[in-house]
Structure 1
Amino acid sequence: MNLRPHLSLLAPVVAAVLMSACATPGTPDASAVLPAADDPIHRHALVREPAPTPDWTRLRQTLNEATRNAPGVTVGAGDAQGLKIEIPVADGFASGSTVIRPSLASALDTIAPSLASEAGVAIKVVGHTDSQGSEMINLRLSIDRAEAVVAYLATRGVAPERLTADGRGEADPLTGNATEEGRARNRRVELLLRATP
């Protein structure tokens, strides 16, 4: 029996089966894959709510009122970019230490509620030292102290994702380091407040 004619009839069927198996499936309906915009469960994946724009004038007034009885704490004039808060730490840390002392804790406690309530404000904490000792040790110490302040503020309700730490060591003195008074003034922590990106 000659199978050749029967095979020729099967060839198109086999080819169709193979083609359908290899074909790319059709594109599914986009609504079946993407969550609907009015779906409250998935809305966060589609739309990121922008952070509120800070009212720098009001925030500065609030911080000035809060720090009225905090010795040495100054709130800068501010501008469209934000504000700077300067906190002296001559007594805020023991020499060479990153443990926050009560005087610094008290100053941070006065400003933490105002900072915690401002969701649209990012806070960069910058540590500064005097020039006593090694420049590299002072740089590391200033960073570690800034990180200690960040950790402290986070325990006082400021969202950790809004906080960053940096240190300048002895690189940005406010005055000379020749006297103890000058060195004490240069030991400080600055909080740079900017709009959340």
Structure 2
Amino acid sequence: MLNTTSARLRKHLLLPLCLGAALLSACASQGTTGGTTSTSTTAPAARPVHSIDWPGLRQGLDKALGNVAGAEVGAPTESSLHLRIPVSDGFSSASVELRAPLARALDTLIPTLNAYPDVAIHIVGHTDSVGSEMYNLQLSIGRSEAVMEYLRTRGIALDRMSADGKGEAESIADNSREAGRARNRRVEFFLRPLE
């Protein structure tokens, strides 16, 4: 009996709220010009690409990653920048848990990334070929998401970031040797203007 009464009460409360919201949204969008409804077709202004100092950003990232062995910051283009951080000892084995060396490397990036709030950060995880292809894909996605969450907890706005994983699909070294597998375990950042 109590469940039926509370369901009726919710129904009676929700119906007027929904109708009120519909009426308010109709009133808010009601604009007349000669009997027709006018709508704006003007798109929001895009952020100007030239407002980002790509060489300055690269210099800041180079300086920040100066003590991180194997880290690479690519040459900036007109509207993007790529950096690579090795993670062979950045995660616990077969895990998405960040270890101290990777956390320290990410911590060095945060001031520079925060100084460029109009830059979007796309994080891509990679693995070596040990394990199944599907497992490595899932692991790389989980690791890139862990990096994104770590950066979020350190003040990087979530709406600036995205995460993806490639598993073992985009190797940069020979997976038949340990040194090659270590190079393939990495996180890459693709920086571009925030849209």
Q: Does the 8 Å CA contact 2:47/2:194 hold for their aligned counterparts?
A: no
- Which amino acid letter does the alignment assign opposite residue 192 of structure 2? R
Q: Does the 8 Å CA contact 1:128/1:169 hold for their aligned counterparts?
A: yes
Question: Percent identity between the aligned chains?
Answer: 50
Match of 1:122, SS state, is: strand
Match of 2:110, SS state, is: helix
Change (3 A) 1:190 1:47: closer
Mapped to 1, the partners of 2:189 and 2:31 lie a distance apart of 51
The TM-score normalised by the length of structure 1 is 0.74
Per-residue deviation, 1:153: 0.7
Per-residue deviation, 1:28: 7.5
The TM-score normalised by the length of structure 2 is 0.75
Q: Does the 8 Å CA contact 1:131/1:183 hold for their aligned counterparts?
A: yes
- Which amino acid letter does the alignment assign opposite residue 181 of structure 1? A
Mapped to 2, the partners of 1:193 and 1:47 lie a distance apart of 22
- Which amino acid letter does the alignment assign opposite residue 192 of structure 1? F
Structure 1 runs of 4+ with >3 Å offset: 27-30, 46-52
Aligned with residue 65 of structure 2, among 38, 44, 67: 67
Mapped to 1, the partners of 2:105 and 2:123 lie a distance apart of 14
Q: Does the 8 Å CA contact 1:75/1:84 hold for their aligned counterparts?
A: yes
Aligned with residue 109 of structure 2, among 108, 111, 116: 111
Match of 2:122, SS state, is: strand
Mapped to 2, the partners of 1:64 and 1:162 lie a distance apart of 21
Change (3 A) 1:47 1:165: closer
Which residue of structure 2 lines up, in the alignment, with residue 157 of structure 1?
155
- Which amino acid letter does the alignment assign opposite residue 126 of structure 1? V
Q: Over aligned residues, Cα RMSD in angstroms?
A: 2.0
Matched, 1:138 2:136: yes
Which residue of structure 2 lines up, in the alignment, with residue 196 of structure 1?
194
- Which amino acid letter does the alignment assign opposite residue 73 of structure 2? V
Which residue of structure 1 lines up, in the alignment, with residue 181 of structure 2?
183
Change (3 A) 1:135 1:51: same
Give aligned pairs, total.
156
Matched, 1:91 2:77: no
Which residue of structure 2 lines up, in the alignment, with residue 78 of structure 1?
76
Q: In structure 1, list runs of 5 or more residues that go unmatched.
A: 1-26, 31-45
Change (3 A) 1:50 1:72: same
Change (3 A) 1:135 1:86: same
Q: In structure 2, list runs of 5 or more residues that go unmatched.
A: 1-29, 34-42
Mapped to 1, the partners of 2:105 and 2:118 lie a distance apart of 22
Per-residue deviation, 1:51: 6.7
Mapped to 2, the partners of 1:66 and 1:85 lie a distance apart of 12
Which residue of structure 1 lines up, in the alignment, with residue 166 of structure 2?
168
Match of 1:63, SS state, is: helix
Which residue of structure 1 lines up, in the alignment, with residue 17 of structure 2?
none
Match of 1:183, SS state, is: helix
- Which amino acid letter does the alignment assign opposite residue 139 of structure 1? L
Mapped to 2, the partners of 1:132 and 1:65 lie a distance apart of 33
Mapped to 1, the partners of 2:103 and 2:60 lie a distance apart of 19
Match of 1:118, SS state, is: coil
